[in-house]
Structure 1
Amino acid sequence: MEVMEILKKYSESIDHEIEEALSTITPLNLYESSNHLIKAGGKKIRPALAVLTCEVVGGKAEYALKTAAAIELIHTFSLIHDDIMDKDDMRRGKSSVHVLWGEPMAILAGDTLFSKAFETVIRTRIDDSSYKRVIKALDTVVDSCIKICEGQACDMSFEGKFEVSEAEYMNMIYKKTAALIAAATKGGAIIGGGNPEEVAALEEYGKLIGLAFQIQDDYLDVVSDEESLGKPVGSDIVEGKMTLMVVKALEKASPEDKEKLISILKENNPDGVGEAIAIFEKYGSLQYTHKVALDNVRKAKELLDIFEDSEAKDALILLADYVLERQN
């Protein structure tokens, strides 16, 4: 089975749950602004992971659909607020929510999706004795929301700061990106009735592929092409972002090269991209970044060894590999 087939397999059911959750929103402009990015598409990797981890521990797919929908609602909420903070005008090939409806309504749309996510998990019904699973899944979703906010705050605190350690950077991307993916895999396992060992393994699997996902994003920004990326190569460099490549290069560079790289990151000038990449290559930070992503995916797949062979397990292995194979 191909990755896109896996993602499509559950997308209709997940979309139905999302539509049901949003259908009661009024007035119309709040409904439309809340629904805008969801209608614009997206791969829906996170909700698919919630369903697959439910299945791999022996649960039925339908048990996890509301948790899966909640994960996608939280992801969308974070994108709307990110676009406001980053002043990004486009998302998924469409105008951002704040561009179309204004910042106050976009904030409300994000807040509505955030709240609807919790309501959706609470409405999960498996059987009369499973309420503890639902509460644990809700706790997992809530915890990921706190981590996303902490991660965004960490990321913002890195702006203009060039003494960031690798451990600080990894903690930031864990909270900002990987925590929600880990919540999807943990939440699905809980709802599916996984035992503590299974839940812990699947949470760690989600964390590792989430870290690899963000690190691969950093890597693709430099090694990919504009057509595949949908944005200019090296845009992270132009924006002065701290990435694993930057952190590693600054750690290893000579005083002269370190000063040069910091100067490029401060300038916000596309003309410096080539020189920054040359510094990355000189100190092996491109190769190092790619190796970290590869190692995380390898470890993630090894964690699946405790599960019996199944279609869901095969899909989880394919999705881990997809994190590194994608081009955007």
Structure 2
Amino acid sequence: MTTTPGLHPADAAQSSWDSRTVNELVAGELGRLVGAEEDLMGVACRDALLPPGKLLRPRLCMWSAAAVGGRMEQILSFAAGLECMHVATLMHDDVVDRAPERRGRPSSAEHFGISVALMAGDGLASTAYEAMLASTDAGLPDPRVVRATRTVAAAVKRTVAAIAEETLVREDLSCTLTKVLEIIRGKTGALFGAACQAGAILADAPAAHEDALRIFGEELGMAFQIRDDLLPYIGAAESGGLTDVANRQPTVPVLLARDATSAQDLDRLQELFLDDSDTVTAHRLLAQILTGSGAVDQAAEMARGYAAKAREALAELPPSQARDALEALTVTLVDP
């Protein structure tokens, strides 16, 4: 990659790697990774992976690398592997949640059946590790690639543990807010943080910058998930965004409403977690209670607070366009 004289290395990389460009490159790499096999597993993996979603984790990885002077073209395979891993966890999560839809289409479990969805998820997880380890083919030293891959593996363990904990609090309105925030940190924050930390590791960043990017990613993941849990109640949920309502999952806005609502609405809320109301009715009643109690505004403010912590972590990094791109996510993901 040629570098413009006087331009910070991260700026040289980022100048031609905006959000759209990164997404297009990652999508192309994902297509290469899953191939064109027409067997059942190949079809199921492609169906879950393509067309891709927001590709947040690949972007976080590549921009984190660029923010500490890394060459993003060397990170592409690793970043695509992160998306494979993320989608694999979604496929398994949809089985656990009995979710009929994902990204506006039938979930893998709904489309292909539970058995195929589980096996295809395992297949994508294997593809993820192959892609990450293949970063050595782009000239990255083996020790860095291995350490970055181990970082992701540790985060996936945290994610799986958090998903398991989430099932234990389902329909439990007595669950503490602290417990749910711990689950979010493991389920979403861990892989966000690992994506950023891995980018720093692959770019051979100083320990202080690596730690700052890990903190940035985890706090951004917290903000993103709290905002995502709000979507069913603010009219911005994608199709399939009512799974938590259907499962009576005690999300952050629900627990904030529990602690702030009137005695009458608290009784209604408790009834919703005990009866068999259909999802549409439950959603309508929950939206009324959450809005009336101020929980929607309170949860939105909580998300902004975590986003602010993420921005604070970035102050450790030198100024660059890549750092600016990361900082912009703390706004667009929380107040789109």
TM norm. shorter chain > 0.5: yes
Partner of 1:264: 272
Contact 1:250–1:258 (Cα < 8 Å) also in 2? yes
Shift of 1:27: 6.9
Change (3 A) 1:49 1:263: same
Show the 5 A alignment for 1:204-223: 204-223=215-234
Show the 5 A alignment for 1:298-313: 298-313=308-323
Contact 2:65–2:200 (Cα < 8 Å) also in 1? yes
Shift of 1:278: 4.2
Contact 1:118–1:138 (Cα < 8 Å) also in 2? yes
1:242 aligns with one of 245, 250, 255: 250
SS at match of 1:41: coil
Give the partner amino acid of 1:30: M
Partner of 1:315: 325
Show the 5 A alignment for 1:79-118: 79-118=90-129
Shift of 1:109: 0.7
Show the 5 A alignment for 1:55-74: 55-74=66-85
Partner of 2:301: 291
- Give the Cα separation in 1 of the matches to 2:42 and 2:246: 36
- Give the Cα separation in 2 of the matches to 1:10 and 1:215: 26
Partner of 2:142: 131
Instruction: Give the number of aligned pairs.
Output: 318
| 1:220-265 CA distance string (max 9 Å, x none) | 2212x2xx42348976445412111222232345655433211123
Structure 1: state its 5+ residue gaps.
none
Change (3 A) 1:232 1:39: closer
Change (3 A) 1:140 1:250: same
- Give the Cα separation in 2 of the matches to 1:218 and 1:157: 18
- Give the Cα separation in 1 of the matches to 2:85 and 2:61: 13
Shift of 1:67: 1.9
Identity %, equivalent residues: 25
Partner of 2:172: 161
Structure 2: state its 5+ residue gaps.
1-16
- Give the RMSD, CA atoms, in angstroms: 2.4
SS at match of 1:214: helix
Give the partner amino acid of 1:183: A
Shift of 1:55: 0.3
| 1:32-61 CA distance string (max 9 Å, x none) | 111112223212111011000000011100
Partner of 1:230: 238
- Give the Cα separation in 1 of the matches to 2:189 and 2:251: 15
Change (3 A) 1:261 1:89: closer
- Give the Cα separation in 2 of the matches to 1:94 and 1:282: 32
| 1:201-220 CA distance string (max 9 Å, x none) | 11111111111111001222
Partner of 1:276: 286
Give the partner amino acid of 1:101: F
The 10-residue stretch of structure 1 (51-60 or 239-248) with the greater mean CA deviation from structure 2? 239-248
Shift of 1:193: 1.1
Say whether 1:202 aligns with 2:213.
yes
SS at match of 2:305: helix
Shift of 1:187: 0.8
Contact 1:221–1:235 (Cα < 8 Å) also in 2? no
Partner of 2:29: 17
- Give the Cα separation in 1 of the matches to 2:53 and 2:243: 21
Shift of 1:280: 3.1
Give the partner amino acid of 1:147: R
SS at match of 1:325: coil
Change (3 A) 1:58 1:288: same
Shift of 1:91: 1.9
2:334 aligns with one of 309, 324, 328: 324
Partner of 1:47: 58
SS at match of 1:266: coil
Contact 2:151–2:198 (Cα < 8 Å) also in 1? yes
Shift of 1:282: 4.9
- Give the Cα separation in 1 of the matches to 2:133 and 2:52: 25
What TM-score results when the alignment is normalised by the length of structure 2?
A: 0.86
- Give the Cα separation in 1 of the matches to 2:120 and 2:134: 21
Shift of 1:100: 3.1
- Give the Cα separation in 1 of the matches to 2:227 and 2:126: 31
Say whether 1:251 aligns with 2:262.
no
Contact 1:174–1:211 (Cα < 8 Å) also in 2? yes
